[in-house]
Structure 1
Amino acid sequence: MAENKDYRYSMSITSQLPHCSLPLRLDSYSKCSYRCSYCFAKNRGGNHPPKGIKTINYKSVDKLLCKSLKTENDSTKTVISQLLENKTPIHFGGMSDPFMEYEEYGQKTLETLKVLRDYHYPTIISTKGTLITKDEYLKVISQSLVATQVSFSSLDDKVSSLIEFNTPLPSERLDVIKSLAAVCWVSARLQPLIPGELDSTIEAIKTLAKAGVKHISVELLKLPLTEYSKLTTQISSAVGREIEEYYSERRLMGLEFLVNREYALLTHKELSKVAWGLGISYSSADTDLLPYDSSDCCCSGVHELPGFENYYRYTFSQAIRNALRENSKLLMYEHLSCEWAPDGPINQYVNSKSRVEDANNIIGWMAAKWNSSTKSIGPLAFYGIEETECYDNNGMKIYRISNKAFELALQLGAIPKTATKAKDKMLIPN
């Protein structure tokens, strides 16, 4: 492997900032060699084949952590520095896998993990790799404030080999889970789950629970608009049946097709029951359903782990959770503004088409998106959130939470079964 210069954006903020509880991402490498056919980074034009790969400068990460955690009352701190100061958990492996084969050469991930260990910094590692089970990695992880996530699209080795190129087989990843479970908290991500696999997924969850996972997150396969036909054909061929019927509603979020609504709801309701029956927690990781399960910290399941309490909450999904837990049928801007957010410019982290003039900070940007909500970003991007004609005294839109949304929150665990009937906060038109 020919290494290039340092990866300048090894630590950054994800574009999923409006709804993600783990927006602070860290990557050892600028590109990924696994080349999964469904990879969102690849399909959105990034993460191209490994040519001119850039690698993390772990010494720079050390300096950034030192400055962020030890310098108080510094008005010049960036958004990232403020998140670090707040001990917002880091998602390690947001754009590329930290344990792909490149790691055998320079061990950039290993050295970075040592830095994070020395600061006892809360870190969630996402991987499909097997290198993580080497003794030197397990030793560092066992000494660290680390949770791990191992990802699958299928537990079938044959299917995986046809859509997850150059990637360790699911059977190998099951062994990874067993090794990790001996030294740290470990979860499994069925992301993306291919639709039409409900029975086999139930068996997969049982297998994963037996291997030692404490949490399961499930996100159904999204199909990119630009690669829809190609990817549909490829995955249908891999599983030996057509999957296009599950996308007949043509539900678009941004530039991706989502599975049909009722199928998604059925899947999460059934799989959550299976997980709970096995004594493990569950996340419905489809973006539009994030507020409705019992895992407050997005799809990670770490919200109750000691040391991970400061997960990011200034999100539209958290605002909906706050309203649900008040049993309020009205979603108010105060349900968002009550949470903490860092200050400072964010345009460099936001898609150029999503930027807002005169709102180059998180609070201003989120406020603008609140009042101009669409099916792609803002409250209306979530299941069961409806428009009204009302505004609060500060000119912020008021939304309605449907009865179906409350029912789903009860079924998936966002609010307890003993919750009282939802109530309006004020008179609002039907």
Structure 2
Amino acid sequence: MSELNSTVIKEAKRWMLENKGTSIKEDTGFYCSPRISSEIVDCSMPMTFDHYNFCSLGCIYCFAYVFKSNNPSVKEQVGLQPVNWKKQIAAMEGKTKRGRGSLFYKHFYEKRFLLHWGGLADPFCNFESKNSVGLKLIRALGHNSYPTLFSFKGDTIFKAPYIKTFEHYAHQQNFAFQISIITNSDELSQKVEIGVPNTSRRLEAMKLLSDMGYYTILRLRPFIIGVSEEGLDELLDRSYRAGARGVSMEFFAMDSRANLGMRKRHEWLAQIIGVDNLEEYFRILSPSERGGYMRLNRLVKEAYVRQVYEFCIKHGMVFACSDPDFKELNTSGSCCAMPDNFEKNPELQNWTRSQLTYHVKEARKAYHKNGELRDFYFGEVYGNESYLDEVGFASDHVSTVGEPTAIVNIRTQRNILQDKWNNLRSPANPRNYLHGKVMPISTLDKEGNLVYRYNPSEYEGRWVKEGVDLTK
């Protein structure tokens, strides 16, 4: 083992071991969650929730590590903060009359909108094993039969109180689960995800929940080229046999703002993957239009996407691609692989269609069914979602940092989306974000917004000629 490997592993293990037995201190305060996702451009579940302010696990690739280690408010010794579970339950039940809790009730809870639990932390990591804050919330969600998607890889879920709780509410089918797995290899997963149960253990969790009747998903994210393709067919097959009804994939991306700690992690990943300089590798192979968040280009990803897509079509599973490249291939409008229709509990399909994933998927289907080239209008894509017009939610977005108070006091998420939509230099502009999958046309809508049109890719015609069904 190289000195670099040893240093990175020790740091990740130290992080994991120091956090493993952490108890919540009485004077630590409370974490503010849920929040509005920063990915509302194409996200079906903009209300994202974590019940602790950070994660105890030591995944080398963790994007939350970048966000929080670059945040000046996070000190060297981060204090563990839980959400105020009593206030969270009160808010969901409509008993909060003011503040963020009342806003989330108005725009989400009252409408029984799907709650996504596990954005920047893990619902079942070691913090939960020690403190059980989440268990109280799970029981309340079960009692209220509230639709919830858990995204996890931790193994606290195997503890008896959690199993009993999920068994008790299984008949309601109000819970769904994404199990994050990046490789078929137990050995390789342990090198990249320090302190996390290996692949086989996570597949046990998938089968446990599937056998209870719950909707489960293989969350193949991040797909790390050089790691994830090893045994991919076997992983897909094992997941299918464990009861997964969908696959959601997204490729590892690199943030150019990475600090020294993250750069060391990148160097270690480079050794595992087999490249000399991971940052240079990404810089060369990533479209520059996307700015400092470097995503590998479509040509690099195509073979792996096709492999997963064809498996899903063959086995009747939902295929979802959270990656902006190949997002058009989603067979659901949710890039988390939640179904468009779920008869056992229609509330699990209560996620927003007012986002790019849904519309680019529909455009791809229309093109391959009848040759239609659909146009994208800002008002049609983002619709009448009320949360987009709530001033109180705009501060959840980093773009409001540094703006004058007078602007912040009137700015909404819809304003932010509209600015990006019409700014062809913005990495979040539909043309740049989807790397040419939609292109601006000469027409403007009646509000003066750009109009985009679906742009068929070369691979689509080639795949169809080779027998791949792109009408799903």
In the other structure, the counterpart of 1:423 is none
Are the counterparts in 2 of residues 34 and 167 from structure 1 also a CA contact under 8 Å? yes
CA distance in structure 1 between the aligned counterparts of 2:314 and 2:215, rounded to whole angstroms = 19
Percent identity for Structure 1 against Structure 2 = 21
**Helix, strand or coil for the counterpart of 2:68?**
coil
CA distance in structure 2 between the aligned counterparts of 1:261 and 1:140, rounded to whole angstroms = 43
Equivalent residue letter for 1:115:
A
Q: 1:239 to 1:369 in 2, by over 3 A?
A: closer
Whether 1:313 aligns to 2:353 is yes
CA distance in structure 2 between the aligned counterparts of 1:43 and 1:263, rounded to whole angstroms = 24
In the other structure, the counterpart of 2:48 is 25
In the other structure, the counterpart of 2:440 is 387
Q: Which of 250, 256, 259 does residue 296 from structure 2 map onto?
A: 259
CA distance in structure 2 between the aligned counterparts of 1:192 and 1:80, rounded to whole angstroms = 32
**Helix, strand or coil for the counterpart of 1:389?**
strand
Matches within 5 A, 1:168-183: 168-183=197-212
In the other structure, the counterpart of 1:204 is 235
CA distance in structure 2 between the aligned counterparts of 1:243 and 1:271, rounded to whole angstroms = 28
Equivalent residue letter for 1:372:
N
Deviation at 1:382, TM superposition (A): 1.4
In the other structure, the counterpart of 1:217 is 248
Q: Which of 303, 318, 331 does residue 294 from structure 1 map onto?
A: 331
Whether 1:192 aligns to 2:222 is yes
**Helix, strand or coil for the counterpart of 2:217?**
strand
1:388-427 residue CA offsets vs partner (Å, 9 max, x unmatched): 332122211112221228938997xxxx8569xxxxxxxx
Q: 1:268 to 1:255 in 2, by over 3 A?
A: same
Are the counterparts in 2 of residues 29 and 56 from structure 1 also a CA contact under 8 Å? yes
CA distance in structure 2 between the aligned counterparts of 1:315 and 1:35, rounded to whole angstroms = 32
**Helix, strand or coil for the counterpart of 1:365?**
helix
Are the counterparts in 2 of residues 313 and 339 from structure 1 also a CA contact under 8 Å? no
Equivalent residue letter for 1:248:
I
CA distance in structure 2 between the aligned counterparts of 1:310 and 1:322, rounded to whole angstroms = 18
Q: 1:80 to 1:257 in 2, by over 3 A?
A: farther
Are the counterparts in 2 of residues 316 and 378 from structure 1 also a CA contact under 8 Å? no
Deviation at 1:369, TM superposition (A): 2.3
CA distance in structure 2 between the aligned counterparts of 1:361 and 1:406, rounded to whole angstroms = 38
Are the counterparts in 1 of residues 31 and 51 from structure 2 also a CA contact under 8 Å? no
In the other structure, the counterpart of 1:98 is 123
1:205-236 residue CA offsets vs partner (Å, 9 max, x unmatched): 11211222111111111122234854443123
Are the counterparts in 1 of residues 374 and 454 from structure 2 also a CA contact under 8 Å? yes
Deviation at 1:302, TM superposition (A): 3.4
Deviation at 1:161, TM superposition (A): 1.6
**Helix, strand or coil for the counterpart of 2:78?**
coil
1:85-112 residue CA offsets vs partner (Å, 9 max, x unmatched): 2222111111111111121222111111
Q: Which of 264, 269, 283 does residue 235 from structure 1 map onto?
A: 269
In the other structure, the counterpart of 2:7 is none
Q: Which of 11, 17, 23 does residue 34 from structure 2 map onto?
A: 11
Using the TM superposition, name which of 111-120 and 310-319 deviates more.
310-319
Q: Which of 416, 432, 438 does residue 365 from structure 1 map onto?
A: 416
Structure 2 segments unaligned to the other structure (5+ residues): 1-21, 367-371
In the other structure, the counterpart of 1:341 is 386
Are the counterparts in 1 of residues 327 and 361 from structure 2 also a CA contact under 8 Å? no
Are the counterparts in 1 of residues 94 and 102 from structure 2 also a CA contact under 8 Å? no
Deviation at 1:355, TM superposition (A): 8.6
In the other structure, the counterpart of 2:451 is 398
In the other structure, the counterpart of 1:248 is 284
Are the counterparts in 1 of residues 329 and 361 from structure 2 also a CA contact under 8 Å? yes
Equivalent residue letter for 2:415:
G
Deviation at 1:300, TM superposition (A): 3.1
Structure 1 segments unaligned to the other structure (5+ residues): 420-430
Whether 1:270 aligns to 2:307 is yes
Q: 1:323 to 1:340 in 2, by over 3 A?
A: farther
In the other structure, the counterpart of 1:53 is 80
1:111-135 residue CA offsets vs partner (Å, 9 max, x unmatched): 1101111221110001111121233
Using the TM superposition, name which of 256-265 and 76-85 deviates more.
76-85
Are the counterparts in 1 of residues 338 and 349 from structure 2 also a CA contact under 8 Å? no
Q: 1:324 to 1:237 in 2, by over 3 A?
A: closer
**Helix, strand or coil for the counterpart of 1:360?**
coil
Are the counterparts in 1 of residues 338 and 348 from structure 2 also a CA contact under 8 Å? no
1:56-94 residue CA offsets vs partner (Å, 9 max, x unmatched): 2221111101117x99xx9x9525631222222111111
Are the counterparts in 2 of residues 37 and 164 from structure 1 also a CA contact under 8 Å? yes
**Helix, strand or coil for the counterpart of 1:349?**
coil
1:338-367 residue CA offsets vs partner (Å, 9 max, x unmatched): 453323112221103689847622333322
Q: 1:177 to 1:354 in 2, by over 3 A?
A: same
CA distance in structure 1 between the aligned counterparts of 2:113 and 2:196, rounded to whole angstroms = 30
Whether 1:63 aligns to 2:90 is yes
**Helix, strand or coil for the counterpart of 2:349?**
coil
In the other structure, the counterpart of 2:13 is none
In the other structure, the counterpart of 2:176 is 147
Using the TM superposition, name which of 387-396 and 185-194 deviates more.
387-396
| Larger relative helix fraction | 2
Deviation at 1:29, TM superposition (A): 0.9
CA distance in structure 1 between the aligned counterparts of 2:210 and 2:450, rounded to whole angstroms = 46
Deviation at 1:280, TM superposition (A): 2.1
Whether 1:166 aligns to 2:195 is yes
**Helix, strand or coil for the counterpart of 1:226?**
coil
**Helix, strand or coil for the counterpart of 2:106?**
helix
Q: 1:261 to 1:44 in 2, by over 3 A?
A: same
Deviation at 1:318, TM superposition (A): 3.2
In the other structure, the counterpart of 1:131 is 156
Equivalent residue letter for 1:16:
E
Are the counterparts in 2 of residues 206 and 278 from structure 1 also a CA contact under 8 Å? no
CA distance in structure 2 between the aligned counterparts of 1:17 and 1:409, rounded to whole angstroms = 32
Deviation at 1:387, TM superposition (A): 2.6
CA distance in structure 2 between the aligned counterparts of 1:110 and 1:201, rounded to whole angstroms = 33
**Helix, strand or coil for the counterpart of 1:263?**
helix
